[in-house]
Structure 1
Amino acid sequence: MTTTYAALLRGINVGGSKKVPMAELRTLMEGLGYGGVRTYLQSGNAVFTSDHGDEDSLAAELAQAIEKHFGFTVAVLVRDHAYLKGVREACPFPADELEAKQLHATYFSGPVDAERFASIDQAAFLPEEFRLGDRVLYLYAPDGLGRSKLAENLSKPKLLKGIVATTRNWNTVVKLEELTRA
């Protein structure tokens, strides 16, 4: 059975480091046997189909190919359409009423629980807020991610130990869900 996935590459094409041209990424992914490869923006989002593997094995395969081809390590998360749709539908914030720059989803490589973020005093960061979902953290940052003190605290290495985390703004969350529809 062929499934449509989104690959989320962490930390590429930012500040001049880890350059991954999207045309090269598409060619690389096609060489792995993936079908219907498309990229979205320059920030490491690709949509593809595959009839083999699961999210974790596809992520590992793509990460290994990127390292071999480009010469550096890139963390990769792969998520199928059903998961992306679930993230969009479960958003605890009024996404339709907010600007995309105000709402973000941080995807995690595995499950996270509230205990991991218990040291964050949410009241101290209001009106910024976050909520946890299924391998995702929803962040409401009214002044944008770049000015968010809460986002800065949520991304501290001690909180993210042992997991890969990569963040997308809400426009990208919506677009990836749309692009992965069969």
Structure 2
Amino acid sequence: MIFVALLHAVNLGARRTVPMADLRALLTGLGLEDVRTYIQSGNAVFSAAPETDLRGRLEAALEAHFGFPVPVTLRTAHEWQEAARGCPAHLRDEPVVLAFPRDPPDPARVAALHGRDVTPERWEVVGQTLYQTVPDGVRTLRLSSGVLERTLGVKVTVRNERTVQAIAAMMDT
């Protein structure tokens, strides 16, 4: 089975550095196959047998190797392709980022998110993915990953649409 692993908050500064060559070596050493990475923001594609706690095993290995906790969001190839194709048409008139919750948020917390005024941004949850417009760029987002995490009560990692599409294309090769 093919998986996508998204590492949260790595390579944003000097303190949480995860070189992609080291990540590939670590994942291969864990018995994962066909390990590939995309850019330096902590994106890996690999093949593995489905297992009960693959995410926990990855997080433990990452912390042991790099010396700091690294939350991981996992998606299957099918889930990833759905996310890559799933952006609602009414959000397509502006640049979009995709937020990937590590765990499914409570529906009541998603409802609470609807109560926040984040104008001019617009967003919608489809399946396991939150699609968000970024009319003024990611540096000024009112609905930042921190706000998402606090409101939804789960870890969230965000990728731009170009990255999502590039990872989807990696699975086709």
Q: 1:17 to 1:179 in 2, by over 3 A?
A: same
Q: Distance in 1 between matches of 2:74 and 2:145?
A: 24
Partner in structure 2 of residue 116 of structure 1: 109
Aligned partner of 2:70 among 62, 67, 74: 74
Following superposition, which runs of at least 4 residues in structure 1 exceed 6 angstroms of deviation?
A: none
- Equivalents in 2 of 1:123, 1:37: separation in Å? 39
Q: Does 1:173 align with 2:164?
A: yes
8 Å contact from structure 1 (residues 84, 177) kept in 2? yes
Structure 2 residues not aligned, in runs of 5+ = none
Count of residue correspondences: 173
Relative to structure 1, the CA distance from residue 6 to residue 120 in structure 2 (aligned partners, 3 Å threshold; closer, same or farther) is: closer
Distance verdict in 2 for CA 1:123–1:62, change over 3 Å: closer
Among 139, 152, 169, the residue aligned to 1:160: 152
Residues 11 and 40 of structure 2 are in contact (CA less than 8 Å); yes or no, is this contact kept in structure 1?
Answer: yes
Describe the SS at the equivalent of 1:118. helix
Residue in structure 2 matching 1:145, options 138, 141, 161: 138
Report how far residue 82 of structure 1 moved. Answer: 0.4
Question: What residue number does 2:85 align with?
Answer: 89
- Distance in 2 between the 1:84 and 1:179 partners? 11
Task: Measure, in 1, the Cα distance between the counterparts of 2:139 and 2:2.
Answer: 31
Partner in structure 2 of residue 106 of structure 1: 99
Cα distance in 1 for residues equivalent to 2:81 and 2:56: 23
Task: Name the SS for the 2:157 alignment partner.
Answer: strand
Cα deviation for residue 73 of structure 1 reads: 0.6
What TM-score does the superposition give when structure 1 sets the normalisation length?
A: 0.84
Matching of residues 129-144 of structure 1 within 5 Å: 129-144=122-137
Residue identity over aligned pairs, in percent, reads: 33
Distance in 1 (CA, whole Å) between partners of 2:134 and 2:168 is 22
Question: Structure 1 residues 84 and 142 mapped into 2: Cα distance closer, same or farther (>3 Å)?
Answer: same
Give the letter aligned to residue 181 of structure 1. D
CA 1:37/1:50 → structure 2, altered by over 3 Å: closer, same or farther? same
C-alpha contact 2:106 2:152 (8 A) present in aligned 1? no
CA RMSD after TM alignment: 2.3
Q: Which runs of 5+ in 1 are unaligned?
A: none
Deviates more, 1:39-48 or 1:135-144: 135-144
Q: Secondary structure at the match of 1:17?
A: coil
Matching residue of 2:121: 128
Write the letter of the residue equivalent to 2:128. Answer: R
Output the CA distance in 2 between the equivalents of 1:125 and 1:104. Answer: 15
Q: Quick one: which amino acid aligns to residue 67 of structure 1?
A: E
SS in 1 for 2:159: strand
Q: State the SS of the aligned residue for 1:168.
A: strand
